[in-house]
C-alpha cells in the first residue's frame, strides 16, 4: 500500500497534528498577495486565511489539537512579522495553538532539522523548501520513524513558550 499524502493525513488525523517550523521566510510558499499587502502597510483583509481557519475549525471543533512550534531568533524578518502578526493571530481564531522557540540568546536544540508535520504522533511528513522559501513538496515517512519525530516534537515543546506570552514581550 502506497503511503498517504500529507494532505490525506491532515484530512484523516484523529487526535493531533503537530508542525515544526524552522524557516525565517516562506514568502514563496503561499499568501504572496497578502504578504505584499502587509509590506505595503495595508490592513489585513477581513477574509485573510479564511479557508485555513475553516479547515482548522473542522478539526478543533471535534476536540482535535492542531499546534506548532516555530524556531526563530530576533530581530524578526519581514516575513516573520507578517506570519506572526497576521497569520498566527488569525489562525488562532480557528483553534490552532502556537509556541515559539526563541534561539536569540541560546543554542537551537534542534539545529538542522527540516520543517515537518507529525500526525497523531504516528506519521511524520517532512516538508521540503527551496533556498528562497518556495515549497517543493512533502515526504511522508514510514511509521518506523515516528519515535524519532516524537522526540523532536517533545524537545521543541520543552524549549518553547506559548506564542501569546512571547508576543507580549517581543511582538512588533
pLDDT (tens digit per residue) in 16-39: 999 999 999 998 887 788 999 999
Quote the number of domains for the chain: 1
pLDDT (tens digit per residue) in 88-128: 989 999 999 999 999 999 999 999 999 999 999 999 999 99
State the CATH number of the domain containing residue 28: 3.30.870
The answer to whether 74 and 170 are in contact (CB under 8 A) is yes
Dist CA 64 CA 97 (whole Å): 11
Residue 109: domain span: 6-170
Question: What is the grid cell recorded at 136?
Answer: 517543493
Dist CA 87 CA 66 (whole Å): 14
Question: Does some domain include residue 44?
Answer: yes
Amino acid at each position: 500500500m502506497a503511503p498517504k499524502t500529507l494532505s490525506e493525513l491532515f484530512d484523516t488525523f484523529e487526535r493531533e497534528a503537530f508542525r515544526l517550523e524552522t524557516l525565517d521566510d516562506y514568502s514563496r510558499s503561499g499568501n504572496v498577495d497578502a504578504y505584499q499587502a502587509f509590506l505595503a502597510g495595508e490592513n489585513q483583509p477581513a477574509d485573510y486565511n479564511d479557508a485555513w481557519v475553516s479547515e482548522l475549525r473542522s478539526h478543533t471543533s471535534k476536540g482535535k489539537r492542531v499546534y506548532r512550534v516555530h524556531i526563530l531568533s530576533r530581530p524578526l524578518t519581514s516575513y516573520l512579522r507578517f506570519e506572526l502578526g497576521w497569520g498566527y493571530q488569525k489562525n488562532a481564531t480557528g483553534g490552532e495553538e502556537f509556541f515559539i522557540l526563541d534561539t536569540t540568546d541560546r543554542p537551537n536544540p534542534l539545529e538542522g532539522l527540516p520543517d515537518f508535520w507529525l500526525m497523531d504522533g504516528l506519521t511524520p511528513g517532512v516538508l521540503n523548501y527551496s533556498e528562497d522559501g518556495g515549497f517543493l513538496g512533502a515526504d511522508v515517512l514510514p511509521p518506523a520513524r515516528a519515535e524519532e519525530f516524537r522526540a523532536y516534537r517533545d524537545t521543541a515543546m520543552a524549549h518553547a513558550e506559548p506564542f501569546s506570552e512571547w508576543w507580549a514581550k517581543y511582538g512588533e
